[in-house]
Amino acid sequence: MTDAAPRGADVSEAVGRTALMVAAARAIEAGRPDALARDGFAEHFVRAAPAAAGWPVHPDQVPGGDADPLWGRLARFFGLRTRVFDDFLLAQATAGARQIVILGAGLDSRAYRLPWPAGCTVFEVDQEGVMAFKQRVLDRLDATSAAERVPLAVDLRGDWIAALCAAGFDPARPTGWAAEGLLPYLPPVAEQKLIGTIAAHSAAGSALGYEVKQGLLPAAAHEYPLHTAARERIGVDLSALFNAEPRPDSAAELAARGWSTTAHTPFEFSRRHGRGPVPEADDTLAANRWVFATAPPSPRGNAGRR
């Protein structure tokens, strides 16, 4: 599940229900006393979109709490995923990376809510409709970013790297990359191209965090409890959104380029933090893997260096 969304004629279509769904889940998580991540902007994005009218933005608005198969489950999952990728990107910045690139940024607010070290630039890449809606809400809130923020309205199916470089990105400097919920929606060829582009424009000291779905989506996925609840209650057919073609092994491709990679299930981080989603029967989350990769300590494979 990603923050990215397709283009459309109005705000509701341009932002997309999936991006709003993620924002609503983050808002609910932020209201918990034991929240893993606190996104104070998420509620405002949800409330600004007619497509999300009536959606909960606080735990008190979720009947059944964590037991709710839709909002209880989603809030815990996206709260955990947000925290894990927050920690990953902040670790890269602490280690010296001053360029952070968030691909398919959607309604993410990391440029505003995280304690970035001085000199950090956060590049947000997503389609025009998403970025325009997001900017209008942020402007209404008079929001001030904690890092230099560079929003880029670029389709990731096009030459996004050229636009990124034109906006000030330097491939010769270490970068923290995130594709938090993007790749499961892409065709395999597009995923391989994206990973190859990132690798070719990553200096030594760069790192990439991304999410994948392991293997094929089973035919029964349409009836997973979470998928059924999302389809019936908010009109989001998650089974139809994920690309059903055999997935490439992007971690192996990076390893072949000299990157070191690790892959984790979300449940590993639930155990580490003492809260978050736990495995269930017919669990769509069982196929999710969070991959973290570090570029080799030499310019090897860094075609982006000039």
pLDDT at site 11: 40
pLDDT digits (tens, 9 = 90+) for 168-189: 999 999 999 999 989 988 889 9
Alpha helices by DSSP H, listed for 109-237, are: 110-113, 128-140, 160-166, 188-200, 225-234
Domain-embedded: residue 138 = yes
Burial call 158-183: b when 16+ CB within 10 Å, e when fewer: eebbebbeeeebbbebbbbbbbbbbb
pLDDT at site 224: 79
Low-confidence ranges of the chain (pLDDT < 70): 1-15, 215-222, 298-306
pLDDT at site 1: 45
- Print the domain residue range for 35: 11-294
Residue pair 83/266 in contact (Cβ under 8 Å)? The answer is no
pLDDT at site 9: 32
Domain-embedded: residue 183 = yes
pLDDT digits (tens, 9 = 90+) for 32-58: 999 999 999 999 999 999 999 999 999
Domain-embedded: residue 176 = yes
Of the candidates 33, 50, 30, the residue with the CA atom closest to the CA atom of residue 41: 30
Rounded CA gap, 178 and 227, in Å?
A: 25
Domain-embedded: residue 96 = yes
Q: Tell me the pTM.
A: 0.91
pLDDT at site 15: 56
Helix 266-273 to helix 71-94 angle (10° resolution) is 80
Domain-embedded: residue 127 = yes
pLDDT, the chain, mean? 89
pLDDT at site 189: 93
Find the largest Cα–Cα distance for the chain: 56
The domain spanning residue 102 has which CATH number? 3.40.50.150
Domain-embedded: residue 300 = no
Of the candidates 266, 261, 256, 265, the residue with the CA atom closest to the CA atom of residue 300: 256
pLDDT at site 154: 94
Rounded CA gap, 5 and 19, in Å?
A: 6
Q: How many CA atoms lie within 13 A of 250 on its CB side?
A: 33
Burial class (CB in 10 A: 0-12, 13-18, 19+), 189: exposed
Domain-embedded: residue 254 = yes
Domain-embedded: residue 5 = no
Task: Say how many C-beta atoms besides its own lie within 10 A of residue 54's C-beta.
Answer: 6
What's the Cα-to-Cα distance from 152 to each of 6, 166, 221, 299, rounded to whole Å? 15, 10, 34, 27
* Number of separate domains in the chain: 1
Tokens describing residue 232: 């019936």
